[in-house]
């Protein structure tokens, strides 16, 4: 490593890593000191949370809960993409389809996914299918609307160029329309995945036997284990951060970067 | 139908209005224009006169309200590979590399042959080494050259250029003009160029057409009889420039 590269890393570390680490450490210290002066029989100290997490890791249950939540999100989110992207394209390309479907989706979109929980339980019962359905609902409408809007905002000069070269039909779809909307679709996916992760925890709080949301409710109900509640919350946050980071990697693909530069 | 073999583009009484909030806006007011095969015609005119509208009508993207557009004596109804437009804002696909842009335009034919052909035109505009670069990694001048290469690789009979160099700095503009002349010497296209730069028009064109303000008609036509390479400092050239500027009301 050259010295200038080493310096760059050093600066990056100083600017991007050190300040948040200090902030979080200070907050944990305040939490700890506060409890030292105001002991509580229920509210855990940071030390309790670490011991609780270790307990969950040792008996392996934490991996089952994480796996269950991630599996539900992947399934619900993938189903939503498979439905939303073709439907959004179809709406974007044909005005009749757009005029017919858009009002319906605009009405569905602002309904909180949590409001669908009773419907999900009625239709699918207290099963794995319910939270998957909720995640599907939470992401499918925004993704449809986003995809259709992306098609509408394709700059006509690109479509004209394709027409000028005598290229039409599926080749325009594959080589012009889809790549043109891809950057916006990826941003939509990133936001939707974040929403899915928010929603899965809420959905799992209702009468399920696995998942991080279940872990929170179960820990509280089974003897006020607030150390485990907070441990689960922190794990949820960290996994959310990781998922967002993975989606950000997609934004770095060369064929979509044009949209984000300058 | 009278068919004149040397008439490549012929506009007859072309009218075009746009509907705006303040009622119809008459942009082209019965305009006649003829471009001979292999001729380089430059159009100059005030901003907002309807130059872009005119070139869109000529290459088939906009249908005129009245009048006709004939290409090789045949009425035109839409865009075709015979005439490629280099638009004012540029239309190189930002999600494709330089080479992929050219290959997309080539579209049909054998892959290996197309790659070879694309390389020839990438070399012609001096972009060797940037075949796999994305447009956002190129400078403005390089991007314009990609656009020109992508048009030329199709060997179109007509090149329509709408202020292709106006976004570039003065030095780059001069260099692009010289390159364009060099390319046209090898491949004899018919060219319709729109520009607001009278010197650029004199440097490049065989004939300069001055458009009137809206509703636009052809107000004056000047032949440019000087051989290439042209010395813009020559007194005859300066005289021509002054007459054109006078037509433009300056
Ligand atoms: N699609 C459209 N709808 C409504 N008005 C339009 C449309 N296209 C052009 N116009 C109007 O027609 C007039 C001529 O536009 P045009 O773009 O042809 O001018 P131009 O001569 O190319 O100008 P510039 O030199 O600035 O490029 C302008 O007043 C413009 O506002
Ligand atoms: Mg214009």
Note the pLDDT tens digit of each residue in B114-160. Answer: 999 999 989 888 899 999 999 999 988 889 889 989 998 998 999 99
- The whole-number pLDDT of residue B5 equals 55
Q: What is the pLDDT of residues A30-50, one digit of tens each?
A: 999 999 898 888 889 999 999
Q: What is the pLDDT of residues B201-223, one digit of tens each?
A: 999 999 999 999 888 888 888 89
**Is the domain of A106 the same as that of A137?**
yes
At residue A254, does pLDDT exceed 90? no
At residue A189, does pLDDT exceed 60? yes
One CATH from 3.40.50.300, 3.40.50.720, 3.40.50.10800, 3.40.190.80 for B4-82+157-247: 3.40.50.300
Distance B88 CA to ligand 2 centre (A): 7
- Record: contact B136-A160, CB cut-off 8 A: no
**Is the domain of A112 the same as that of A4?**
no
Let me know how long chain B is: 250
At residue A2, does pLDDT exceed 70? no
Q: What is the mean pLDDT of residues B18-39?
A: 91
**Is the domain of A79 the same as that of A193?**
yes
- Record: contact B91-A261, CB cut-off 8 A: no
**Is the domain of A111 the same as that of A12?**
no
Q: What is the pLDDT of residues B229-240, one digit of tens each?
A: 888 888 888 888
Given a contact cutoff of 8 angstroms between Cβ atoms, the answer to whether B62 and B56 are in contact is: yes
**Is the domain of A149 the same as that of A127?**
yes
Of A165, A182, A257, the CB nearest to B105: A165
Number of structural domains in chain A: 2
- The whole-number pLDDT of residue B180 equals 87
Q: What is the pLDDT of residues A73-98, one digit of tens each?
A: 999 999 999 999 999 999 999 999 99
Separation in Å, CA of A7 to nearest CA in chain B? 26
Which distant-in-sequence residues (6+ apart) come within 8 Å of A173 by Cβ? A89
**Is the domain of A188 the same as that of A156?**
yes
Cis preceding linkage at B215, omega within 30: yes
**Is the domain of A12 the same as that of A120?**
no
The model carries a pTM of 0.85
Intervals of CATH 3.40.50.300 along chain B: 4-82+157-247
- Record: contact A179-B134, CB cut-off 8 A: no
- Interface residues of A toward B, Cβ cutoff 8 Å, are 157-158, 160-167, 171, 175-176, 179-180, 182, 254-259, 261-262
Q: What is the mean pLDDT of residues A131-155?
A: 94
Chain B residues inside the 8 Å CB shell of A157: 87, 89-91
Half-sphere exposure in the Cβ direction for B37 (13 Å, CA): 10
Q: What's the CA gap between A241 and A244, in Å, rounded?
A: 5
Q: How confident is the model at residue B1 (pLDDT cuts 50, 70, 90)?
A: very low
Q: How confident is the model at residue A171 (pLDDT cuts 50, 70, 90)?
A: very high
Distance B61 CA to ligand 2 centre (A): 14
Of A157, A166, A261, the CB nearest to B80: A166
Which distant-in-sequence residues (6+ apart) come within 8 Å of A111 by Cβ? none
Q: What is the pLDDT of residues B79-97, one digit of tens each?
A: 999 999 998 888 999 999 9
At residue A212, does pLDDT exceed 90? yes
**Is the domain of A247 the same as that of A178?**
yes
**Is the domain of A120 the same as that of A209?**
yes
Q: How confident is the model at residue B77 (pLDDT cuts 50, 70, 90)?
A: confident
Q: How confident is the model at residue B2 (pLDDT cuts 50, 70, 90)?
A: very low
- The whole-number pLDDT of residue A177 equals 96
**Is the domain of A121 the same as that of A4?**
no
At residue B3, does pLDDT exceed 60? no
- The whole-number pLDDT of residue A207 equals 64
CATH number of A106's domain: 1.10.3720.10
Is the ipTM value over 0.95, yes or no? Answer: no
- The whole-number pLDDT of residue A255 equals 82
- Whole-angstrom distance between the N-terminal and C-terminal Cα of chain B? 41
Q: What is the domain extent for residue A1?
A: 1-39
């Amino acid at each position: 490593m050259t010295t200038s590269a080493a310096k760059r890393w050093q600066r990056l570390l100083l600017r991007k890593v050190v300040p948040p680490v200090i902030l979080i450490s200070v907050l944990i210290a305040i939490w700890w000191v506060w409890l030292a002066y105001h002991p509580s029989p229920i509210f855990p100290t940071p030390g309790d949370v670490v011991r609780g997490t270790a307990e969950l890791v040792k008996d392996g249950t934490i991996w089952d809960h994480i796996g269950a939540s991630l599996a539900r999100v992947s399934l619900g989110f993938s189903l939503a993409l498979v439905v939303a992207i073709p439907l959004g394209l179809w709406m974007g390309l044909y005005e009749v389809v757009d005029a017919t479907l858009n009002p319906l989706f605009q009405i569905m979109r602002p309904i909180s996914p949590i409001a669908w929980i009773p419907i999900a339980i009625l239709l699918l019962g207290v099963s794995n299918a319910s939270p998957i359905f909720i995640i599907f609902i939470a992401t499918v409408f925004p993704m449809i609307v986003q995809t259709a809007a992306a098609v509408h905002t394709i700059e006509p000069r690109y479509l004209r160029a394709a027409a000028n070269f005598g290229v039409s039909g599926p080749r325009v779809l594959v080589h012009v329309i889809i790549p043109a909307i891809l950057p916006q679709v990826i941003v939509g996916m990133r936001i939707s995945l974040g929403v899915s992760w928010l929603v899965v925890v809420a959905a799992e709080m209702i009468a399920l036997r696995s998942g991080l949301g279940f872990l929170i409710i179960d820990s509280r109900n089974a003897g006020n284990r607030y150390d485990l509640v907070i441990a689960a919350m922190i794990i949820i946050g960290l996994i959310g951060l990781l998922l967002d980071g993975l989606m950000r990697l997609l934004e770095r693909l060369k064929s979509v970067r044009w949209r984000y530069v300058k | 139908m009278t068919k004149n073999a040397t008439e490549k583009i012929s506009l007859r009484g072309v009218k075009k209005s746009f509907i705006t909030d303040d009622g119809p806006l008459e942009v082209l007011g019965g305009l006649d224009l003829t471009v001979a095969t292999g001729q380089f015609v430059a159009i100059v005119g005030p901003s907002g006169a309807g130059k872009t509208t005119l070139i869109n009508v000529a290459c088939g993207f906009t249908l005129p309200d009245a009048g006709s557009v004939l290409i090789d004596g045949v009425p035109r109804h839409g865009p075709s590979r015979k005439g490629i437009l280099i638009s004012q804002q540029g239309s190189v696909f930002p999600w494709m590399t330089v080479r992929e842009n050219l290959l997309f335009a080539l579209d049909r034919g054998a892959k290996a042959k197309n790659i070879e052909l694309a390389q020839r035109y990438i070399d012609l505009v001096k972009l060797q080494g940037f075949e796999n670069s994305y447009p956002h990694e190129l400078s403005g001048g390089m991007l314009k050259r990609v656009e020109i290469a992508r048009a030329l690789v199709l060997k179109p009979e007509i090149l329509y250029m709408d202020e292709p160099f106006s976004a570039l700095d003065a030095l780059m503009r001069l260099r692009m003009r010289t390159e364009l002349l060099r390319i046209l010497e090898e491949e004899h296209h018919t060219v319709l160029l729109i520009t607001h730069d009278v010197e650029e028009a004199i440097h490049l064109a065989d004939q300069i057409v001055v458009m009137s303000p809206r509703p636009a008609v052809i107000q004056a036509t000047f032949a440019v009889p000087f051989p290439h390479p042209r010395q813009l400092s020559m007194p005859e050239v300066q005289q021509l420039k002054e007459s054109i500027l006078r037509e433009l009301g300056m």
